[in-house]
Structure 1
């Protein structure tokens, strides 16, 4: 892309008016951009930039449509509304130029999803929705689940001190955390997100690290801004609080509607009541 941005403006203007020719060779450059060049008499080569499909990320509408195509059953509005909002947020994270998947992010998302979908009427549907959601983002739902499980199992064997001393130890998860620390320091792609913050919180929770300073030390070891983590964890806690209240309201509504249906079934219709009364009051004689 550096070669494209360094082109003279005049050449770019001419490129906008250029039309493809079957005789024009295509030259591939990094990033999947095709540069078609054609020499003109008495002028410089004219370059036309054509981005391949791989360079253009899907739109939010594309991702939402992929989800709806994959999971076609109706979802109760209390779940559907939050899922759609999360999907939009995660789409924007997923297609940032600095995005790189990591297991802490996966743990955070899985934690949020499981909290959101707790109490969903069908476990089978809950799993199917998860699969459709992650697949709509062009990622692997099995990888998310497997990585989240690995992180949880590791965290249960840790304590506050061991958690923050990952850089001085060897191991699979320790290597993952070291890689995140290096990338967050600017040695590679890293894009902080709320899901990452929730992933850190889950690690602390499972390792029974109750000391407030542990989160400070862990953020420092990972080169993560502690203020951002605190802010996003507050948002997460507020979301959970509102979600619990909404689920309680939904539960009350379902129970109330169920009771109404039962009462309607138990109450005889007017004609049936009359027939029953007439039959009992004036029995037929044979």
Structure 2
């Protein structure tokens, strides 16, 4: 998996004087982020409104209950901003805001059901996108706020992702696809996914799920092209969809590397300018001091 370059962005977004810095590369990233938009349409959750057959056609009976109404995207974003109030550098904030919208649409689909592979995929995406964030503590706090804004548990995401990663590291190309014939905690998770994806329950495929599969293969060093095909078959997942979404994911990582390189150059230029201004100011102060001493000595 392509690693996103680690950079320092302490000079980006908001300075110590609360002056916001507009970064051209953030706009570059925003314009290229469309490729990672999860192509899930906004589902109109039925409010139970139907025409009565026993009354006039103009009479409408509302059967809506408050528990049937999911939060809006605006409410989810507002919950995130309330939970994490500190400024976020624009190159990260641009991606996070788009990501939380798409995650919201996945979460509140009627067919959505949390699973560990989905969690592994999201954790992988998040860690890649936030690589190089100025503070590890803030990066974790943002993760916590993000997941809680979706009414889910960040600890569950992290724990399940870690569990699958540890399991995958102990697998080979062969054992990875033989999970249906074995017993174990992760094997049971994968069997449940296969049953639901095969039509025996509720399952909603997403790009986070595709990235989760990719991460399993990566950790198991399963590089043969046929392994992904066999794993998809065992899980009852459309491989063509997985291939397409993984291409989009790799493309996003590539664009992030380019954007962060541009930001690195921007930070270096700004640092150099500040140093030059500081040196000029120091020199001016030294000249003024010398002149003052000279004038005093001449009196």
Which residue is 2:278 aligned to? 265
Cα deviations across residues 22-80 of structure 1 (Å, max 9, x unaligned)?
A: xxxxxxxxxxxxxxxxxxxxxxxxxx434222100111111111111111111111000
CA distance in 2, matches of 1:153, 1:125: 25
Q: TM-score, normalised by structure 2?
A: 0.79
Q: Per-residue deviation at 1:279?
A: 4.5
Q: Per-residue deviation at 1:278?
A: 2.1
Q: Per-residue deviation at 1:15?
A: 5.3
Which residue is 1:146 aligned to? 159
Structure with bigger gyration radius: 1
3-state SS, counterpart of residue 9 of structure 1: coil
In structure 2, relative to structure 1, the CA distance for the partners of 1:281 and 1:130 (3 Å cut) is same
The 5 A counterparts of 1:129-278 are 129-268=142-281, 272=285, 274-278=287-291
Which residue is 2:109 aligned to? 96
In structure 2, relative to structure 1, the CA distance for the partners of 1:150 and 1:278 (3 Å cut) is same
1:125 and 2:138 correspond: yes
On the 8 A contact 2:194/2:234 being kept in 1, the answer is yes
1:78 and 2:91 correspond: yes
| Greater RCO (CA < 8 Å, at least 6 residues apart) | 2
Q: Per-residue deviation at 1:265?
A: 1.4
The 5 A counterparts of 1:42-61 are 48-61=61-74
CA RMSD in angstroms comes to 2.1
In structure 2, relative to structure 1, the CA distance for the partners of 1:184 and 1:249 (3 Å cut) is same
CA distance in 2, matches of 1:243, 1:11: 59
| Structure 1 residue ranges (4+ consecutive) displaced by more than 6 angstroms after TM superposition | 4-7
Structure 2 residue runs without a partner (length 5+): 1-47
Which residue is 2:25 aligned to? none
CA distance in 2, matches of 1:164, 1:148: 19
Q: Per-residue deviation at 1:271?
A: 6.2
Structure 1 residue runs without a partner (length 5+): 17-47
CA distance in 1, matches of 2:284, 2:160: 63
